[in-house]
Homo-oligomer: A and B are copies of this chain.
Amino acid sequence: MQPTIGFIGLGIMGKPMARNLVKAGYSLVVHDRVLGPVEELLGLGATRAASAREVAQKSDLVITMLPDSPDVDLVVAGKDGVLEGIRAGTTLIDMSTISPVVARALAAKAAAQGIEMLDAPVSGGDKGAISGTLSIMVGGKREIFDQCLPIFQVMGKNIVYMGEAGAGQVTKACNQIVVGVTLQGVAEALTLGAKAGVDPAKIIQALSGGLARCGVLELRGPNYLSHTFQPGFRVRLHHKDLSIAMQTGAAYGVPLPATSLVREFMNALITMDRGDLDHSALITLIEDMAGIQVRAHETGE
């Protein structure tokens, strides 16, 4: 028999993920502070619970998808939280992007109660959540990962087992560092190229063949060329993720100078009311300082 899944956190990411689970035939018990998404899921056949504790009481497996470390800590280990209601033998999967240090602490707390916990952050954004094509990076016990794989496969495509508890969050932090720093490199390159008179469309084309090729140029190229920064992935979320990376660097003793620089530029964007733009808007800071807007040239050459 299919397990009953508790799902806590029905935001931009969580709601479509929960929807895909219902559509795949799982019984869902859902909880969120906001009523709209809860009612939408009830309409699809899910059951409601009044607290995280009640979700845990009614489920064989609990998934959390929340904004940040303190939210997960509160919902899992706080008053009326998951660990107050959960039975020994139940699995807890946190799919939020949070600090690896917090993920490991929560996994240890859960283990002390006989609860196996996986950290399984995702990438791929709301589009990936809707289409069930998220990338999922998973930390925890291998056998628990194997048991949960069919559930992950409902929500994602590229599902990688990374190692022990916290390894999924560590990998997500690495991912966000590489993306953030690459976005900054591309921003500097394209602004320089454009102000020195070269068509940025041609620069992107020329760079796509060699060592400079990257997902940022491929997937965000149109943003730069049209100078539109609709998310995509919001600056304020990437800023949060780089803050997690910096905390992780501090906890494990790894200095992150370029990450730090990019995090501060994202902080600047938030201050300047650009926090809800796509993270490729990092280029607007360099553009502002250089007094130019990068855009594809109208004609060829």
User: Interface on A for B, CB 8 Å cutoff?
Assistant: 100, 123-124, 135, 137, 142, 158, 160-164, 166-167, 170-171, 173-175, 177-182, 184-186, 188-193, 195-199, 202-203, 205-207, 209-217, 219-220, 233, 245, 248-249, 252-259, 261-262, 265, 286, 289-292, 301
Q: State whether B100 touches A196 (Cβ < 8 A).
A: yes
Name which residue of chain B comes closest to A173, CB basis. Answer: B192
Q: State whether A212 touches B175 (Cβ < 8 A).
A: yes
Q: How many copies does the complex hold?
A: 2
Tell me, rounded to whole Å, the shortest Cβ–Cβ distance linking A257 to chain B. Answer: 6
- A25 CA to B185 CA, complexed, in Å: 42
- A167 CA to B124 CA, complexed, in Å: 35
Q: State whether A289 touches B219 (Cβ < 8 A).
A: no
Name which residue of chain B comes closest to A161, CB basis. Answer: B301
The residue from B167, B177, B188 contacting A192, defined by CB atoms under 8 A apart: B177
Name which residue of chain B comes closest to A255, CB basis. Answer: B289
Known contacts A175-B207, A262-B258; decide if A248 and B192 are in contact (CB<8 Å). Answer: yes
Known contacts A185-B258, A213-B215, A257-B261; decide if A207 and B193 are in contact (CB<8 Å). Answer: no
Please name all residues of chain B whose beta carbon is closer than 8 Å to the beta carbon of A164 when the two chains form the complex. 197
Name which residue of chain B comes closest to A186, CB basis. Answer: B178
Q: State whether B211 touches A198 (Cβ < 8 A).
A: no
- A162 CA to B248 CA, complexed, in Å: 42
Please name all residues of chain B whose beta carbon is closer than 8 Å to the beta carbon of A189 when the two chains form the complex. 173-175, 177-178
